[in-house]
């Protein structure tokens, strides 16, 4: 089996962390009997410098013709003064739109070696391993009517519309059920069905997909969003996969991410179309770019997500995750997760340790 991967390193620390992640991908492929062909493209600021725009047609074509896209990060002070339509971050929106990526997956796994990094008590967060599936292209962020209008009495009125259709809910539910099937087979659908009609429909459709599309092996529960916000802090270990609307997902995924306490560790996937896009949650970190200080683990864990969700190589994904855990247990830390008595390593060295551990597992 050979997979074609579009590699878009971007700006700042993007090329540094992506280099280590690609090297991990190539190593794990050799261990699990498949191969990868990678092709690089410029996006973001790097593309602006070379071609005058953040996303070119040829990169878009490359992405569409690949099995998956691995993205680094985009942006930096050099391009901050540009007009909004030609800013580096526009490439991200362009790729999402063109690839039809309506589902955002953010796994939140606390490596026990990093439990002290969380603001919550160790006994609460230790063992946390959940996945937030957020609807990405619908709901109140896009619903019409929207806007601010002036009323006859001189005051103003602001409107946004929470709107979901049956097909939009069905397709995100299917992504979430499929993800749950590859994990611990539990799905929590989060809504506000007691107040919002749009999410009453959400609950109804998710239940119907569960019944009628062959997902009886998954345990489905429904939870109101206010309760969910509380439960995430009270007992995060009760969750396996959470699926929710665009706005609730926006808020809950940041809340859940903070259980781990560290942005340099968090991967994400955007799915929906034929091709999935995978990127670390962090940005281009211009303050440490080019200094071999960046933590490559978020991007390396992003490769594990790609293997699981786009390439159907879950054993290879597990090998990467176990190697990351082993390296952390051995006390190696990049500067962002450094602790007393840990051994400080750079980006390259961290990538090399992960590859070495993979060979020992």
DSSP 69-117: EEEEE---GGGTTS-GGGSTTHHHHHHHHHHT--EEEEEEE--GGGGGG
What is the spatial distance between Cα 146 and Cα 99, in angstroms, rounded to a whole number? 25
CB of 350 to ligand NAD, least distance (A): 10
Is residue 9 within 8 A of residue 296, CB to CB? The reply is: no
What is the spatial distance between Cα 106 and Cα 270, in angstroms, rounded to a whole number? 9
Is residue 326 within 8 A of residue 359, CB to CB? The reply is: no
By beta-carbon distance, which residue lies closest to ligand NAD?
A: 283
Is residue 186 within 8 A of residue 241, CB to CB? The reply is: yes
**Structure-block tokens of residue 170:** 């069905």
Identify whether 240 is a catalytic site residue: no
The tokens 């990094």 sit on which residue? 117
CB of 285 to ligand NAD, least distance (A): 4
Pick between residue 140 and residue 297 the one whose CB is nearest to ligand NAD.
297
Touching ligand NAD, residues 75-94 (CB under 6 A): 75-76, 89, 92
Q: Does 339 bind ligand NAD (CB under 6 A)?
A: no
CB of 340 to ligand NAD, least distance (A): 18
What is the spatial distance between Cα 88 and Cα 55, in angstroms, rounded to a whole number? 8
**Structure-block tokens of residue 140:** 């109140």
Beta strands 267-271 and 276-280, pairing class: antiparallel
The piece of 136-144, 145-153, 159-167, 277-285 that touches ligand NAD (CB under 6 A) is: 277-285
Find the catalytic residue in 78, 141, 182, 185. Answer: 141
Touching ligand NAD, residues 17-76 (CB under 6 A): 17, 73-76
Pick between residue 198 and residue 298 the one whose CB is nearest to ligand NAD.
298
Pick between residue 288 and residue 316 the one whose CB is nearest to ligand NAD.
288
CB of 293 to ligand NAD, least distance (A): 6
Query: Binding ligand NAD by CB under 6 A: which of 199, 284, 302, 313?
Result: 284
CB of 14 to ligand NAD, least distance (A): 7
Pick between residue 168 and residue 336 the one whose CB is nearest to ligand NAD.
336
Q: Does 294 bind ligand NAD (CB under 6 A)?
A: yes
Q: Does 236 bind ligand NAD (CB under 6 A)?
A: no
Q: Does 282 bind ligand NAD (CB under 6 A)?
A: yes
Q: What is the DSSP letter of 200?
A: H
**Structure-block tokens of residue 167:** 């097909």
What is the spatial distance between Cα 117 and Cα 120, in angstroms, rounded to a whole number? 9
What is the spatial distance between Cα 179 and Cα 219, in angstroms, rounded to a whole number? 13
Identify whether 336 is a catalytic site residue: no
Identify whether 204 is a catalytic site residue: no
Find the catalytic residue in 235, 254, 287, 312. Answer: 254
Residue 262 main-chain phi, psi, to 5 deg: -145, 120
Catalytic residue positions?
A: 141, 192, 226, 250, 254
| Positions in the binding site for ligand NAD (CB under 6 A) | 13, 17, 73-76, 89, 92, 263-264, 279, 282-288, 294-295, 298, 334, 336
């Amino acid at each position: 089996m050979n997979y074609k991967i579009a590699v878009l390193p971007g700006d700042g620390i993007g090329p540094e962390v992506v280099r280590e992640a690609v090297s991990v991908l190539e190593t794990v492929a050799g261990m699990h009997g498949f191969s990868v062909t990678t092709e690089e493209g410029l996006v973001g600021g790097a593309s602006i410098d070379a071609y005058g725009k953040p996303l070119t047609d040829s990169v878009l074509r490359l992405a569409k013709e690949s099995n998956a896209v691995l993205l680094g990060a985009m942006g930096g002070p050099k391009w901050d003064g540009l007009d909004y339509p030609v800013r580096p971050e526009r490439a991200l929106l362009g790729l999402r739109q063109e690839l039809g990526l309506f589902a955002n997956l953010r796994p939140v796994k606390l490596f026990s070696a990093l439990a002290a990094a969380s603001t919550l008590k160790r006994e609460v967060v230790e063992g946390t391993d959940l996945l937030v599936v957020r609807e990405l292209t619908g709901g109140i962020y896009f619903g019409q009517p929207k806007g601010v209008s002036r009323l006859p009495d001189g005051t103003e009125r602001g409107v946004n519309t929470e709107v979901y259709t049956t097909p939009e809910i069905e397709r995100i539910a299917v992504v979430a059920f499929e993800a749950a099937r590859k994990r611990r087979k539990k799905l929590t659908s989060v809504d506000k069905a007691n107040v919002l009609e749009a999410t009453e429909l959400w609950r109804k459709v998710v239940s119907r997909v569960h019944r009628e599309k062959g997902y009886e092996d998954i345990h489905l529960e429904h939870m109101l969003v206010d309760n969910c916000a509380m439960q995430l802090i009270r007992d995060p270990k009760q969750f396996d996969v959470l699926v929710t609307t665009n706005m609730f997902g926006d808020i809950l995924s940041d809340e859940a991410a903070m259980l781990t306490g560290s942005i340099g560790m968090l991967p994400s996937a955007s799915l929906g179309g034929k091709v999935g896009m995978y990127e670390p949650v962090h940005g281009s970190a211009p303050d440490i770019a080019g200094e071999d200080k960046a933590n490559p683990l978020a991007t390396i864990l992003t490769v594990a997500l790609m293997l699981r969700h786009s390439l159907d190589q879950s054993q290879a994904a597990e090998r990467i995750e176990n190697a990351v855990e082993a390296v952390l247990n051995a006390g190696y830390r990049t500067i962002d997760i450094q602790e007393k008595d840990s051994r400080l390593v750079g980006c390259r060295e961290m990538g090399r340790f992960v590859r070495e551990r993979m060979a020992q597992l």
